[in-house]
Amino acid sequence: MTGSATGLVLRARPLTETSLVLHWLTPEFGRMATVAKGARRPQSPFFGKVDLFYLADLSFHRSRRSDLHTLREVGLRETHPALRQNMDRLRLAAYATAFIEQATETETPLPDVYELLRDFLACLCRQPASPQLLFAFELKLLRELGLDPGQAETGLAAGTKKIAGILAEKEWETGLRLKLTGAQTTELGRFLQGFLGIHLNRVPKGRAAALAGAMDADSPAR
């Protein structure tokens, strides 16, 4: 049986000397894994078309025995080139992936989470890395997961709570226009760290490095 979807590559790992295992996030099938046979050979039709955070149309043979399907074809849509040129952006994208992997099941439709990550990566390629972008992603994803901190007794200062509401609800660019003070960044960052720790049992990997990089990239000294 074959399937087709549009998806984002979340991970690309060598399987053999010539093949890759690709982890995708698709709307219809959620997180799924495919083997791209021969993808590491220069003559392969997959060569140069599958890498981290690439957006592509894919078709695959469904495996009856395992969760590892076989990739048949890939049509590249977007490579997100800005992620290649800036480690702070790549760290944010990697953290977003870690968060999604921790908070979602595999092979379960995730259309809203897919759209969220797709829009986040597009925004990340247009805008420099910033704490606002990281917080906006966290707040929007928490809402998708039904864990909206806005409904909870946050204990945040009124200004910070308002910022959190805008970052969660408004378009990406609207949230990024907000100027957070150092104290507000620290307050919201600590609050979300605690919230994630409580509701996801542990903070997704890479948050500290992603936030530090985003704060550094956002600092006026740069």
Partner 1 sequence: MLPDAITQLVAVFAKLPGVGPRSAERIALHLVQTDVPLVKQLADTILHARDKIQLCTTCGALTEKSPCRICDDARRDASLLCIVERAVDILSVEKSGTFRGKFHVLGGKISPLDGVEPDDLRIAELEKRLAHEPVREIVIALGTDVEGDATSFYLAKRLARSGLMVSRIAYGLPAGSGLEFADELTLSRALEGRREML
Residue 99 found at the interface with partner 1 (CB under 8 A): no
Secondary structure (3-state) at 73: strand
Cβ contact 84:192 at 8 Å: no
Cβ 53 to partner 1 shortest distance, Å: 7
Which listed residue (58, 83, 100, 110) binds partner 1 by CB under 8 A?
83
Sign of CA dihedral 176, 24, 37, 18: positive
How many residues at the interface with partner 1, by CB under 8 A?
31
Tokens describing residue 121 = 């990566």
Residue 37 found at the interface with partner 1 (CB under 8 A): no
29: left (phi over 0), alpha (psi -120 to 50) or beta: alpha
Q: Identify which of 20, 47, 21, 43 has the alpha carbon closest to the alpha carbon of residue 32.
A: 21
Which listed residue (41, 48, 62, 157) binds partner 1 by CB under 8 A?
48
Which listed residue (29, 53, 99, 172) binds partner 1 by CB under 8 A?
53
State how far the Cα of 149 lies from the Cα of 165, in Å rounded to an integer.
9
State how far the Cα of 217 lies from the Cα of 77, in Å rounded to an integer.
28
Residue 111 found at the interface with partner 1 (CB under 8 A): no
Residue 11 found at the interface with partner 1 (CB under 8 A): yes
Q: Identify which of 60, 57, 55 has the alpha carbon closest to the alpha carbon of residue 21.
A: 60
- Residue closer to partner 1 by CB (options 97, 184) is 97
- Residue closer to partner 1 by CB (options 17, 105) is 17
Which listed residue (79, 102, 127, 154) binds partner 1 by CB under 8 A?
79
Instruction: Please give the residue ranges that form the binding site for partner 1 (CB under 8 A).
Output: 11-12, 16-17, 42-43, 47-49, 51-53, 76, 79, 81, 83-87, 90-91, 93-95, 97-98, 205-206, 209-210
